[in-house]
Amino acid sequence: MTDHRPALHVRHVSAIGAGGIESGYVIENVSLGCEAGTWTALAGPAAADRTGVLRCAAGLDPVTAGEVRRAEGLRLAHIGLLPVTEQLATVGTLASVLDRLPSGGGELLGEAVHRLGLWEERDTPVRELTEGRQRAAAVAVALADAPGVLLADGLTGGLPPAGAAAILDLLRDLVDRRGLCVLASAVGLAELERADTVVLLAGGRVVETRVMR
């Protein structure tokens, strides 16, 4: 379903995160492009490098050089770039989110809630869900507005295999069926297997880009 129009471009971006090289991140001259209907995985030895690229792409951190370009009218969402409690701070229950969406606008959220096994807990305050269920709820809420690009960090960290697979399979299906563009950090084989392209980072730089599909 790829239409070969870049949804998101990171062009020669350099940035220094809070704490700099000691406790934050430093990325240098990073360039990558993500098209609609594709999944790009960020891999490499330093988690901070991956997170830094994602935070700059999301507009959460300023860049010191280069630019981030998004397609006109693009709706962007992110998962894992803020603490889950902060991301869900304004969400009472998943049912309340469904209720306040425009008529017909909750289709994607409803699908995510069902597929992530959250339907029976839709009336439970998200703050009362287990940590793993809160992570799944954050994924569902991020999809509520049918974004064109989803930026994700630590998608499956700490989740049991079944819960991790449910999230990854849902997003891969949305890439193929709805043309969602996913740019996500990858910490294991499961994330790499879902990707169309893998961008390897080392020392804050892109050292290899590999097409997987």
- Out of 3.40.50.2300, 3.40.50.300, 3.30.70.3270, 3.50.50.60, which CATH number does the structure's domain 1-75+147-213 have? 3.40.50.300
Q: What average pLDDT does this structure show over 123-148?
A: 93
String of DSSP letters for 138-170: HHHHHTTT--SEEEESSSSTT--HHHHHHHHHH
What does the pLDDT look like over 55-93, one tens digit per residue?
Answer: 999 999 999 999 999 998 899 999 999 888 888 989 999
- Residue 22 confidence (pLDDT): 57
Give start-end residues of each CATH 3.40.50.300 domain in the chain.
1-75+147-213
State the pLDDT confidence band at 26, using cuts at 50, 70 and 90: very high
Rounded to whole angstroms, what are the CA distances from 163 to 8, 37, 89, 136, 206? 28, 23, 22, 8, 31
Q: Give the pLDDT confidence of 155-212 residue by residue, as tens digits.
A: 887 788 999 999 999 999 999 999 999 999 998 899 999 999 999 999 999 999 999 9
pTM for this model (two decimals): 0.92
- 1 band by pLDDT with thresholds 50, 70 and 90: very low
